[in-house]
Structure 1
Amino acid sequence: MDTLELVKFIMTYKFAINEITTKLNILNEEFKYVHDYNPIENISSRVKTPESILQKVKKKNCDLSIMSIKENIKDIAGVRITCSFISDVYKVYEMLQKQKDIDVVQCKDYIKSPKPNGYQSLHLIIRIPVFLSDRVEDTYVEIQIRTKAMDFWASLEHKIYYKFGKEIPENLTNELKEAALSAIELDKKMERLHEEVKLIKNIENVNEV
C-alpha cells in the first residue's frame, strides 16, 4: 500500500464523519424546534493517524491491504456525543437508528452494564455510505454516546491510566471505581430532576389551555 492510497483511504473516513456530524446537527436542531430542548450537548470527532492504523494492523495481525484494514479495524473514524441526561443518550441512539442510510452493525451498552473499572458509555459501530465522485464507499464509524458526567470520568481515568504507563496503583483504581459510582448516582439524580421538570412543565401547559 503506497502513501497516496492510504491518504485517499483515510479521507473517506473524514467524509463519513462529516456526514454523521451533519446528521446529528440536523437532528439536534429539529429536536430543539419541536420539543424546545437539545438532547446533544457536544459532538467531537477524530480519525486515526496512519501510524495508529498500522500499529493496530500489527496488533490484530491482519493483512496490510485496504480491504483487510477496512473490515478488521472499524474504529478508524470516531465520533463522541455528550448528552446531559441518560435518557438523552438513548434518544440520540433511537434517532440514529431511524436514519435509513445508517446501518448499526454493533452496539455495546456499557451504561446498563458498566465495565469492571466503572467505565460507562454506549458504543456503536455504524456503517454509512460515502458518496465519492466515482463510487460509493460503505464506511464504518465508531460512535460513543455518553453523559457529561460519564465523559468527565472517562477523560480523567484516561489521563491517569497513561500517566502511570497503564499500571495504575491499586488505591487509585479503587478511588476511580468509587468516583465512577458517584458519577452514576449523579446521573440518576439529575435524570429524576429532569423528569420532575418535564412533569411540572406539562402540568403548566395543561393549565394554560
Structure 2
Amino acid sequence: MKDSIPSKKQVKKAGEALANSNSSTSEYKKAMQVLSIWRSLHTTPLNTFQTTLRRKVKSLNFYSPIIAQRLKRTPSIILKLQRFQDMNLARMQDIGGLRIVLSTVGEVYRLQKNILEKSSRFDHDLKKLNDYIHDPKPDGYRGLHLIFRYKSVVHPHLDGLLIELQIRTKLQHSWATAVETLGLIEKSSFKTGEGDTEFKDFFKLCSALFAHYEKQPVSEELRGFSVIELAKELKILEEKLNIFQKLQGVAISSQYIGTNNKVTGDCEYFLVELNLRDENPQVNITGFNKEMKDMAESHYQRREITLRDEPKVDIVLISMSNVKDIEKAYPNYFLDTELFIENLQKICSTALMGIAQNKN
C-alpha cells in the first residue's frame, strides 16, 4: 500500500501540470493518475470521521441532522489550482470533505464544542478553524469550517492527510444550494466569484436577511442596514432578475430521478450524476456497497474523464447511510431550492408587512 502512495513532491508536480494549459497529453495523463490515487487516499480518513461524528451527533440528540461525505470533483480541484497560483495540490484542504447540516446555530456550536473538547476522543489535530457564521465571507457565505490533520494507529501511512468538516444550519445550507443552482442555470460559478454583479448582490442580501433571522452578524458590507431596507432592496432585485421563477423552473421531479438496480439499503457509496443536456434535467444515482469502494472510485474517475469536455453534466461520489438523504445533503444536484425560496419569502413578507402596518 505504502509503495503506491505518491510523495508530496509528486503530488505537487501533478497539481502544477494540471493547472498548466500547456502541459503535454502525456504529462496531463500522468498527473491525472497521481491525482486519482491521492484523492482516493482520503476515503479512509473520511470514513473514520463520519463514523465518529455520527456517534457524536446521536449522543447530542440533535433534531433531524444530515451527515454526508464526498471526494472533491476533479474539475473543481483543477479550477482551484488554476485560480490560485500558489495552490499546492498536496496541501489542498478540502479534497476530502464532510458536511453536517443541523437545525440551529446553537446546535452548530454545541457540536463544535463537543468535537474540540480534550475529553471528546477526537484525536485528530485541528489545523484551522474558520467561523463564517460570526464573520461571513464578503459574498455572504456562512458556515463553520474546521480543517483537521488525520491521525491513525491503524493507518499511519495516511497520517497528515487534511480533511475539511463543514457544519451549517439548514438555512445556511439552503443559501449555498441556491447559489450553486443558479450558477448552473446562468452558467456562472457564483461561488468562485464569477457572474453578474446583480445576481451576486442578490445573494449578499439573502445572506444578510438569513443572518438577521438567525440573530447572527451579517457581512461587513451590509452591516448597519435594517431588515426592512434589506428586504426592500432584495424585492427590487428579485423582480428585475426573476430569480425565484428561474429557480422554480428547473427543479427535478421524481420522474426524472433514475437509480440503477445496485441501489439498495446496503449501499454506502453513491455516484450522483446531474445531466442538464436535455430539455428535462435528470439525475442518475448509482449505488455501491462498502466492499465496492474501489470500484466506486474507479467508476468515478472514468466518468470524470469521459465527461471532461461536457459542461452540462456534473458528477460527484458521496457516502451516506441512506440513499433517501442524498437530496437533503446535496439538493444542488436536484436543483432543489424550495426551502431557500420558502424561507426568504417568509422573512421578506414579514419585514415588508411591518412597513404596511406602520403606514396604516
TM normalised by structure 1 equals: 0.72
The number of equivalent residue pairs is: 178
- In structure 2, C-alpha distance between the alignment counterparts of 1:135 and 1:142, rounded to whole Å: 19
Q: Equivalent residue for 1:16?
A: 45
* Contact kept? 2:148, 2:162, Cα under 8 Å: yes
Please list, as runs of the form range in 1=range in 2, the aligned pairs for 1:65-144 lying within 5 A after superposition. 69-71=89-91, 73-98=92-117, 99-130=121-152, 135-144=157-166
Please give the per-residue CA displacement for 1:102-149, whole angstroms capped at 9, x wherever unaligned. Answer: 211111111111122322111111112255667342211111111000
1:176 aligns with 2:198: no
List per-residue Cα deviations over 1:27-78 (Å, max 9, x = no partner).
12222xxxxx316711122112445434434444469xxxx5322x111111
User: 1:158, 1:183 → 2: CA distance?
Assistant: 17
Distance in 1 separating the partners of 2:167 and 2:122: 20
Cα distance, 1:58–1:146 mapped onto 2, change above 3 Å = same
- Where 1:129 maps in the other structure, the secondary structure is coil
What per-residue deviation string (whole Å, max 9, x for no partner) do you get for residues 160-200 of structure 1?
23433231342x333323322222233239xxxxxxxxxxx
Cα distance change of structure 1 residues 22 and 185 upon mapping to structure 2, 3 Å threshold? same
SS at match of 2:128: strand
Give the AA of the match of 1:53. I
Rounded Cα–Cα distance in structure 2 between residues aligned with 1:175 and 1:135: 46
2:135 counterpart SS class: coil
In structure 2, what is the Cα distance between the partners aligned to 1:154 and 1:173? 12
Which structure has the higher relative contact order (CA within 8 Å, separation 6+)?
1
Aligned to 1:205: none
The aligned counterpart of 1:45 is: 69
Structure 1 residue 23: deviation in Å? 0.8
Q: Distance in 2 between matches of 1:50 and 1:131?
A: 30
**Which whole-Å CA distance do the structure 1 matches of 2:100 and 2:178 have between them?**
17
Are 2:42 and 1:26 equivalent residues in the alignment?
no
Q: Are residues 176 and 55 of structure 1, via their aligned partners in 2, closer, same or farther at CA, if it must alter by over 3 Å? A: closer
CA distance in 1, matches of 2:42, 2:144: 21
Q: 1:134 and 1:74, CA in 2 relative to 1: closer, same or farther beyond 3 A?
A: closer
> C-alpha offsets along residues 2-47 of structure 1, whole Å, 9 cap, x if unaligned?
566544422221111111110111112222xxxxx31671112211
Q: Distance in 1 between matches of 2:105 and 2:56?
A: 18
8 A contact 1:39–1:88 mirrored in 2: no
Q: Summarize the Cα distance change of 1:38–1:133 in structure 2 as closer, same or farther, 3 Å threshold.
A: closer
> Against the structure 1 CA distance between its residues 175 and 50, is the aligned structure 2 distance closer, same or farther, given a 3 Å change threshold?
closer
Structure 1 gaps of 5+ residues are 32-36, 190-209
Give the partner amino acid of 2:181: K
Q: Counterpart amino acid of 2:55?
A: I
What is residue 187 of structure 1 aligned with on the other side? 214
